Chain A
């Protein structure tokens, strides 16, 4: 061990630190954020139809609003893909009035009928449209800028020929008035945030442009009809699986410690499951428990049953739990076994001999020496197992299709994948993280107290 202090070790661990920061710490923070942060809960209104103008109060998403006016405003091309975007096109035109005066400025696309286009579809020239309605102003305004708020540069009669020099895409801004929690607010907002009803004078705020802390997603998670069954099943499986695994792993470890002939064969067989995918294990046990599967084949072959029993149905949920339980015990006992074996190997033979010599028979040796000395390993294995049990997923899907019996990880998957509800999925992820973190804190404590005891 080099005791010299220099920068080398920091340089060596740096890549891993950076990597875990990016792909562990940051996503973890994101998961927490997604679960409690409603990113578009509030719409900030503007005093004028411009992003730079001052704020004019806020309205929450979903507020019904009156639409008092509208106005176009330049929009960046990359924002044109936004949902609900209402746009209008403006042309910079040059024309000659009937009296020979040249007029140049901006006019809305709706006021110009395009007559000539270039080969690539660019409008080149057109005529001013006639206004509908007898009492309408027959003249069309040409503005100095691409906005109805700008100065009028001239007025043109219908059917005047215009040269189209340039075009601009504008997003509509609406002047809206609404009320939330008794406080009215009025101001401008971009069309993308407003859902306008058919009458063009009312609408609702479809989404906001500012976030706020919320417990909506957590509530949505807790109120989901699958939440409590998932939580309950997860805990039930943990309680069923872990003790059996520990007893079985202890037995396996003691067998390995006996150094029987064929020990390496036993070790390999006991460890096989360590590398087998949980999905495959789920399917393997499905093959056993399915109606026309092995269990029924054997039972019928032995004459215990006359016809195949359907185990994995909604009416026989306990059979699904049993199947998941067996599959998980089958799959994940080997890791406990490996941890326990290395714990056993760390107990010096002389210590056991000493116990024997000072009067402890086999059971007293196990009770007073082996188990206490194995305690750190057992605790570590216990916490590893607890955290793995919180992530049970593919086995459950394979054996229950994922809805008759469900678990937390499965619900996270369903919320994300089937329901496209990232925030609620993140809430599930956050819950699993939280439950694991509680275990991890205990785990760290244990490791530390252990190191103190051995220091």
Chain B
């Protein structure tokens, strides 16, 4: 059992509050992704777990044992660093064996575990080489092999793929996912790449300004972001946001986007009632809008500004009021810039955002 419990952890650098009273529990063998833009505190939080930068306040425990102020080597963890941090003066074999040697694992066992780790990462024929003669991708494999050879129950990864080129990153992503499922370690994985987060994590914790905005399964984070920021950070293209006005209409509320009126989903009626007569923000993803080439009562007329064919879809940029909106359409949908199209918003796909707080509004039970 190696669950990781982060309780009310705060970390400051001088006046800068890098991690602000964060609590997070990672279950045994869970793959947790910390996602956020640079400077959000995700790496600082990871380093507090690793013991490379001690928390100022709060408690961190691994497998029920308080490790808050233990030095890293006493925490029973292993880690893959962003720059790989492999030892340039050691052969690949010695790099992988380093942790075992430091922990006085006997020779035969070391050899067995190094070979096993190398095989898992397909670098078993490079054990005699020096890292300086290897490509970035190969060094990455050495770094991962070194971490898994430790057989620690906790594996920390700090943006391990960010130094690889796009193609290699795609390949390693799938491989890492398979590998981590195989070794069954509790993993915290830090990244700023939302695709990586969505594709790999059991859960994603989205961070900003030192706090966790949302921590949930990838599909939920994607579909029901907790805040406007999460919606805008995750997804490519990010979620669209439109300014609108809530109006009472026949005992229920309507939402007006300019002259266009929209009926919210029944579930959201109670949520939106308090906003009667007030502005609100509509959030909707590009792929959730229906594009029509002919007018329809329940669709808003928009002018197409840009058409970007992306192969599997066409991405339209349109303007609704002051907001720029990205709409994805099927490639067969014929459209050209300066043409008018009509957009239909499926009621169940619309998310509602409080304009002042940026919080998404959800009915009590969804």
Q: Mark A227-261, 1 if CB is under 8 A from B, else 0.
A: 00000000000000000000000000000000000
CB distance from A366 to the nearest CB of B (A): 13
Residue pair B132, A354 in contact (C-beta under 8 Å):
no
Residues of B within 8 A of A454 (CB): 88, 132
Interface residues of B in 78-136 (CB under 8 A from A): 78-79, 81-83, 85-90, 98-99, 102-103, 130, 132-133
Bound together, the chains give a CA A364 to CA B99 distance in angstroms of 12
Question: Which of A350, A357, A360, A454 lies at the interface centre, i.e. has the most chain B CB atoms within 10 A of its CB?
Answer: A357
Residue pair B72, A455 in contact (C-beta under 8 Å):
no
Does B71 reach chain A (CB closer than 8 Å)? yes
Residue pair B133, A455 in contact (C-beta under 8 Å):
yes
Does A372 reach chain B (CB closer than 8 Å)? yes
Quick one: given A358-B98, A358-B146, are A375 and B73 in contact (CB under 8 Å)? no
How many chain B residues touch the partner (CB < 8 A)? 27
CB distance from A332 to the nearest CB of B (A): 27
Quick one: given A356-B72, A453-B130, A455-B132, are A350 and B102 in contact (CB under 8 Å)? no
Interface residues of B in 51-96 (CB under 8 A from A): 51-52, 71-73, 77-79, 81-83, 85-90
Residue pair A359, B85 in contact (C-beta under 8 Å):
no
How many chain A residues touch the partner (CB < 8 A)? 21
CB distance from A244 to the nearest CB of B (A): 26
Residue pair A353, B73 in contact (C-beta under 8 Å):
no
Residues of A within 8 A of B50 (CB): 357
Interface residues of B in 144-162 (CB under 8 A from A): 146, 150
Bound together, the chains give a CA A253 to CA B89 distance in angstroms of 21
CB distance from B147 to the nearest CB of A (A): 9
Interface residues of A in 349-372 (CB under 8 A from B): 350-351, 353-361, 364, 368-369, 372
CB distance from B96 to the nearest CB of A (A): 10
Complex partner residue of B73 from A348, A356, A368, A455, CB under 8 angstroms: A356
Residues of B within 8 A of A361 (CB): 71, 73
Bound together, the chains give a CA A369 to CA B90 distance in angstroms of 9
Residues of A within 8 A of B73 (CB): 356-361
Bound together, the chains give a CA A351 to CA B142 distance in angstroms of 13
CB distance from B89 to the nearest CB of A (A): 4
Complex partner residue of A373 from B82, B88, B150, CB under 8 angstroms: B88
Complex partner residue of A355 from B77, B82, B98, CB under 8 angstroms: B98
Bound together, the chains give a CA A358 to CA B75 distance in angstroms of 10
Residue pair A357, B77 in contact (C-beta under 8 Å):
yes
Residues of B within 8 A of A372 (CB): 87, 89-90
Complex partner residue of B150 from A351, A355, A358, A455, CB under 8 angstroms: A358
Residues of B within 8 A of A357 (CB): 50-52, 72-73, 77-79
Residue pair A359, B102 in contact (C-beta under 8 Å):
yes
Whose C-beta in chain B lies nearest to the C-beta of A358?
B99
Residue pair B89, A353 in contact (C-beta under 8 Å):
no
Residues of A within 8 A of B78 (CB): 357-358
Bound together, the chains give a CA A454 to CA B88 distance in angstroms of 9
Residues of B within 8 A of A358 (CB): 73, 78, 98-99, 102, 146, 150
Complex partner residue of A356 from B52, B83, B90, B130, CB under 8 angstroms: B52
Residue pair A351, B132 in contact (C-beta under 8 Å):
no
CB distance from A362 to the nearest CB of B (A): 10
Residues of A within 8 A of B72 (CB): 353, 356-357
Whose C-beta in chain B lies nearest to the C-beta of A453?
B132
Bound together, the chains give a CA A372 to CA B133 distance in angstroms of 18
Residue pair B81, A350 in contact (C-beta under 8 Å):
yes
Bound together, the chains give a CA A90 to CA B362 distance in angstroms of 130
Bound together, the chains give a CA A375 to CA B73 distance in angstroms of 25
Whose C-beta in chain A lies nearest to the C-beta of B52?
A353
6 closest A-B pairs by CB:
A359-B102, A358-B99, A350-B85, A354-B85, A357-B72, A372-B89
Question: Given A348-B83, A369-B87, A454-B132, list of 8 further CB < 8 A pairs?
Answer: A350-B82, A351-B86, A351-B87, A354-B85, A354-B87, A361-B73, A375-B89, A455-B132
Selected A-B contacts with CB under 8 Å, 26 pairs? A348-B83, A348-B85, A351-B85, A351-B87, A351-B88, A353-B72, A353-B81, A354-B79, A355-B87, A356-B52, A356-B73, A357-B50, A357-B51, A357-B52, A357-B72, A357-B73, A358-B78, A358-B98, A358-B146, A359-B99, A368-B98, A373-B89, A375-B89, A453-B130, A453-B132, A455-B132
Chain A positions within 8 Å of B, measured between CB atoms, are 348, 350-351, 353-361, 364, 368-369, 372-373, 375, 453-455
